[in-house]
Structure 1
């Protein structure tokens, strides 16, 4: 599910920069001990669950433009070693094959992220700084799937923006089940649950529009592992997006930071 990407590296970098600006700190406790492994998950693959996941992927992949909003609970390691949950919200606008704008707000550092077909730019709105990386031009997939040593937990929607979400989401699955149906924010949904190496994740997909409404990702392998929750709303498919949306607007007095010096620690 949540995987490393260049997008996440840049967004994560803006959060770390804010941490440095505000003077806060975090990390593991010196007395931390390795957690015992959990019991293996039974391998059950329900073809109904895989079919519904494929239907969602087809709906997303077939859209020339996508617009939606997210509300997330993001766990971060505190100085005491406890995970604390911060609220985050985002507005996402994507135009295939090579345009993306993400407006992130909430408890995390407010930032705007742009991909204009050539360059990925993340601008921190507090402290007036930005990080930027040339992406070499080309399709959005090349940027979304570029692996880097950082966490992209601040961009939990990356998995659904690639040209083939099913290939990414279904990779290495060891189990897939159809839990049933439930209502999320007034929308009737199909509730699916999946397991992959080291992670359990669930998704609630609109029964009519086949669009994701809620995702929960939980890491396995220890007594204390983070859980990420993201809710999707305000979906628009194939609606026109003004070209100005993807034009980078860097404040005149913003300071450029080297993104190679930034990054967030991986969950233990």
Structure 2
């Protein structure tokens, strides 16, 4: 799974040498701190136990040019989940303007700016549908790394290092900052303190790509029992929208239906 984190728009980032100038962090760099993995498991188990929720996110994707220059692209998203088989994710920004829908039987991706959409049959559970979207259609839904019911096992596969960086504040919310090192990518998570261990920030660094680009998301406006009618996950194409086919590569939708 840590290898999978490097995918999806080059979903991406490194450790920035594991914390600059902090003696308390430098003392913990080596090995796996069980306190870090325990808090990560607490967070992923809590998310997996939520039957329905919605969350807003603001993400920044970093791209490294051949010259070494870095560009950043921002995206705002809103995801609504109803387990075990519903997801609606809307995201818009400089490089994407899409709606992603899963209704328990099919996946739909609609590009608002291009007014095109594609539909594909999908497995019967959200976990399997997200895997299918990533592996067969080359589509990564917002925050999909954290949505799986077995997210902990996926995130810690091949884990090489884990540390508790320390207390932090994200968007005015008290959190605990965790950092993890994998074979190819590293990730950091800021977990909300208290009885609702929600992720408040998530950063991925791809070490295997020159310049070690990063992908970062901040989460806000968590709603843990929202109204989520079936209609929320049903796609009604606008009159001017045109259906095309998934190619399974690149942006995910590209080929015109004959």
The TM-score by the shorter chain falls in which range?
Answer: 0.7 to 0.9
1:182 paired residue among 150, 161, 168: 168
1:117 paired residue number: 104
- Cα deviation for residue 150 of structure 1 reads 7.0
Distance 1:83 1:150, change over 3 A: farther
> Bigger CA drift: 77-86 or 123-132?
77-86
1:129 paired residue among 105, 116, 124: 116
- Cα deviation for residue 171 of structure 1 reads 1.4
Q: Secondary structure at the match of 1:258?
A: strand
For residues 24-103 of structure 1, the aligned pairs below 5 Å read 43-76=30-63, 82-103=69-90
What CA distance in whole angstroms lies between the structure 2 residues aligned with 1:88 and 1:183?
A: 22
- Cα deviation for residue 233 of structure 1 reads 0.6
Gaps of 5+ in 2: 10-16, 18-28, 252-258
Distance 1:2 1:211, change over 3 A: farther
1:22 paired residue number: none
What CA distance in whole angstroms lies between the structure 1 residues aligned with 2:183 and 2:136?
A: 19
- Cα deviation for residue 112 of structure 1 reads 0.7
- Cα deviation for residue 118 of structure 1 reads 0.8
- Cα deviation for residue 224 of structure 1 reads 1.5
2:150 paired residue number: 164
Work out whether residues 2 and 159 of structure 1, in 8 Å CA contact, stay in contact via their aligned partners in 2.
no
Distance 1:2 1:229, change over 3 A: farther
Work out whether residues 75 and 91 of structure 2, in 8 Å CA contact, stay in contact via their aligned partners in 1.
yes
What CA distance in whole angstroms lies between the structure 2 residues aligned with 1:251 and 1:79?
A: 40
What CA distance in whole angstroms lies between the structure 1 residues aligned with 2:110 and 2:56?
A: 19
- Cα deviation for residue 43 of structure 1 reads 4.8
Query: What stretches of structure 1 move > 6 A for 4+ residues in a row?
Result: none
* Cα root mean square deviation, aligned: 2.6
What CA distance in whole angstroms lies between the structure 2 residues aligned with 1:261 and 1:143?
A: 14
Matched, 1:215 2:202: yes
Gaps of 5+ in 1: 13-38
1:250 paired residue among 216, 237, 246: 237
What CA distance in whole angstroms lies between the structure 2 residues aligned with 1:157 and 1:165?
A: 11
1:29 paired residue number: none
Name the count of aligned residue pairs.
Answer: 231
1:23 paired residue number: none
Work out whether residues 3 and 151 of structure 1, in 8 Å CA contact, stay in contact via their aligned partners in 2.
no
Matched, 1:138 2:129: no
2:223 paired residue number: 236
- Cα deviation for residue 193 of structure 1 reads 0.3
- Map Cα deviations across residues 138-179 of structure 1 (whole Å, 9 max, x no partner): 111111123527765x64500111112211111111111011
